[in-house]
Structure 1
């Protein structure tokens, strides 16, 4: 019986470029006896027909993907060994799949949800999300971001009414508080930290979700994203914009939440690091 399920999110900034790193990271976690049972990816940057299903399955994982040429794209990857016996293939591993926010006309592939049955656990509803960046508060892209956030909130409210065990994982492109920013004074009035974005984040919390990372004592200056420019990672000039939000039922079972900075040290890395939450059966 599975005693612990580890779920994670990682903006890989191109699965075509970063597939070797994804496989390496998953294998490293296995070797450390801390396997990742579900991994939600963001920024696939390729179409569905080019998604590496075969390579992932050969490594022991099944995955569901919603791709798009050049931009965006999300996926949910699950470890076959962690699935319940009746969830042995693509059709049974990902139940009630949803692609994009229902009722919100949008060609950008940013949401993928599915219910997963792990061994010895009640089903878990996983939502892999890639929030819009917004560019700047005076841009059309920011208007799009706020509209998208409003649609997400309405849909998640409905999802939570039907799924008490829900996790929202991904790149939110929002640093919830100044603690999540390396130098708040340099970001005043900018995208990712603006009051409307932070208020939208808080409304998600008010739906009945909890920021798993903040459930536990964490080291100061803990970030999940660092700009490629100006030695951002080396200086730890980062932000915490990748999150795992848990419904109350999963919050009660969460035993740890962390950021794994190791992959950010590798050659040609994503600018994001994986974030992880551990859920007890």
Structure 2
């Protein structure tokens, strides 16, 4: 089974790119972030015509996550537990039946958090703490589970073109990376790093200053696997090609293959 994640940066603006890539890559499941529309405005029928079931947790003009699956959803639950006042659409959880049992998917668009020291940064760290508590509870179920999405976290210096430039950015601050390590230390495996040890492989290039042309990128989109999912890991790759297309997202897809 091939499972992909992609911050699409506006589904309406990137609909042609999304459908083109889905036809080419043919993932069984795709997790989209930053769809930037309410549920009713998401073009579900376009993806249903490609054979996908669709689940959406949207927000007008901002954020928003969507799940596409060639297999039906058994359960779908939006919103991350732990703060009833949080109205930002950043989390969508689903369960799908596969031959080996249950496959649980968590699709996230983790807050950016800039600038450090602001309420936005405090929200980011609190959100990461809430995510950790949810993942900790779910790991007790001993299911095949994937946490996928735009984490807005640069895990290590080799995941950014120039670490010195990013030291004080919320994506690379020591507090952010510490929260990410605590999450991993629950027993999760980074699928990409389990398959690749080379540095300077990126999933994001800014639109400004020729970042794409200069390969000044960041690796901030991740697929984290429960132990049961890690045991089934076959491959994980970043597909940079859509970044060179017309009107691209600033992120590119990353996918994992599991035996299920």
Q: Which TM-score applies when normalising by structure 1? A: 0.90
* Pairwise CA distance, 1:191: 1.5
The answer for the alignment partner of 1:50 in structure 2 is: 41
2:96 aligned to 112, 116, 122, which one? 116
- 1:243 is aligned, of 222, 229, 232, to 222
Three-state SS of the structure 2 residue aligned to 1:170 is strand
- Do the aligned partners of 1:213 and 1:244 also contact (CA within 8 Å) in 2? yes
Match of 1:225 among 183, 191, 204: 204
Q: Please give the secondary structure, in 2, of the residue aligned with 1:147.
A: helix
Query: Could you list the runs of 5+ residues in structure 1 that have no partner in the other structure?
Result: 30-34, 84-92
Structure 2: runs of 5 or more not aligned: none
Pairing of 1:52-131 with structure 2 (within 5 A):
52-79=43-70, 83=71, 93-105=72-84, 106-118=86-98, 120-131=99-110
Take 1:165 and 1:182, find their aligned partners in 2: how far apart are those partners? 33
Following superposition, the deviation at residue 239 of structure 1 comes to: 0.4
Contact map agreement 1:47 1:68 (CA 8 A) in 2: yes
Match of 2:242 in 1: 263
Preserved contact between residue 238 and residue 254 of structure 2 (Cα < 8 Å)? yes
- Paired with 2:66 and 2:242, the residues of 1 have a C-alpha distance of 19
The Cα offsets for residues 158-202 of structure 1, whole Å up to 9 and x where unpaired, read as: 122125211000000000000101100111222200111001111
The aligned residue for residue 86 of structure 1 is none
Q: How many Å separate the matches in 2 of 1:188 and 1:202?
A: 17
**CA contact under 8 A between 1:225 and 1:271: conserved in structure 2?**
yes
Asked if structure 2 preserves the Cα contact closer than 8 Å seen for 1:11 and 1:42, the reply is yes
Q: Is the 8 A contact 1:165 1:247 kept in 2?
A: yes
Distance 1:107 1:273 in 2: 27
CA RMSD of aligned residues (A): 1.1
SS at match of 1:123: strand
Deviation at 1:97, TM superposition (A): 1.6
Contact 1:62 1:77 (C-alpha < 8 Å) held by counterparts: yes
Aligned-partner Cα distance in 2 for 1:102–1:188 = 30
**CA distance in structure 2 between the partners assigned to 1:218 and 1:36 by the alignment:** 24
Number of residue pairs aligned between Structure 1 and Structure 2: 259
Q: What's the CA shift string for 1:75-124, capped at 9, x where partnerless?
A: 11012xxx3xxxxxxxxx22232211123221000000001123x33221
CA–CA separation in structure 1 for the residues paired with 2:138 and 2:232: 20
Distance 1:70 1:163, change over 3 A: farther
Q: Which residue does 2:22 correspond to in 1? A: 26
| CA distance in 1 between partners of 2:168 and 2:244 (Å) | 30
How far did 1:218 drift?
A: 4.6
Task: Give per-residue Cα distances to partners, 1:221-262, cap 9 Å, x unaligned.
Answer: 100000000011111101000000000011011011110001
- The answer to whether the 8 A contact 2:102-2:143 is kept is no
Alignment partner of 1:161 out of 140, 153, 165: 140
